[in-house]
């Protein structure tokens, strides 16, 4: 069983959190929501789901987790400017553990400076940012590049979830 961190702030894309979160738990893994502060309420941008952070980013230790998933929407913009979030993602990457981001999720990877030399995809609106961060951009439903998994939009969730579960099992 893996312990999986979900990085979350308000304004996330509802399905990009709910579907991977539910799939990870259904597969028997532990899912922990890491927010900007412990207990912080995170509402989806469409208002269909809401979560409370189990842990604040300042408390997150990379050695306690096997993987990190970053849902898209507006949340990655708030997460990427938090030094503790960036530190955590950098440390998880240094340990070679799985980091998966969908839609705007790769914005956090950009701020953590972990995309150099990797292949990645993302929401088209941040495509140039991904390229400028040193990644080879691919317009594909899911891209697996070493320990990094990326996808573009909610339509790509089945492939995104499939690749995450394959790496965790």
Exactly one of 104, 114, 118, 121 is catalytic; name it.
104
Q: Give the tokens for residue 122.
A: 């993302």
The three-point CA angle 144-150-153 to 5° equals: 135
8 Å CB contact between 133 and 110: yes
Residue 96, classified by CB atoms within 10 Å of its CB into exposed (0-12), middle (13-18) or buried (19+), is: exposed
104 in active site: yes
Of the candidates 72, 61, 51, the residue with the CA atom closest to the CA atom of residue 150: 72
Of the candidates 139, 160, 149, the residue with the CA atom closest to the CA atom of residue 114: 149
Distance CA 2, CA 25 (A): 10
Query: Which residues carry out catalysis?
Result: 104
């Amino acid at each position: 069983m893996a312990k999986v961190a979900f990085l979350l702030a308000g304004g996330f894309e509802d399905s990009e959190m709910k579907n991977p979160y539910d799939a990870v738990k259904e597969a028997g893994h532990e899912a922990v929501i890491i927010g900007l502060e412990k207990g912080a309420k995170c509402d989806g941008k469409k208002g269909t789901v809401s979560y409370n952070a189990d842990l604040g980013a300042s408390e997150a230790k990379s050695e306690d987790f096997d993987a990190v998933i970053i849902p898209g929407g507006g949340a990655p913009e708030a997460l990427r400017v938090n030094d503790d979030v960036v530190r955590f993602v950098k440390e998880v990457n240094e340990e070679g553990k799985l980091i998966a981001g969908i839609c705007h999720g790769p914005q956090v990877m950009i701020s953590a400076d972990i995309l150099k030399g990797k292949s990645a995809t993302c929401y088209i609106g941040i495509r140039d940012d991904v390229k400028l961060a040193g990644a080879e951009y691919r317009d594909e439903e899911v891209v697996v590049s070493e320990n990094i998994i990326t996808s573009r939009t909610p339509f790509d969730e089945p492939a995104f979830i499939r690749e995450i579960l394959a790496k965790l099992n």
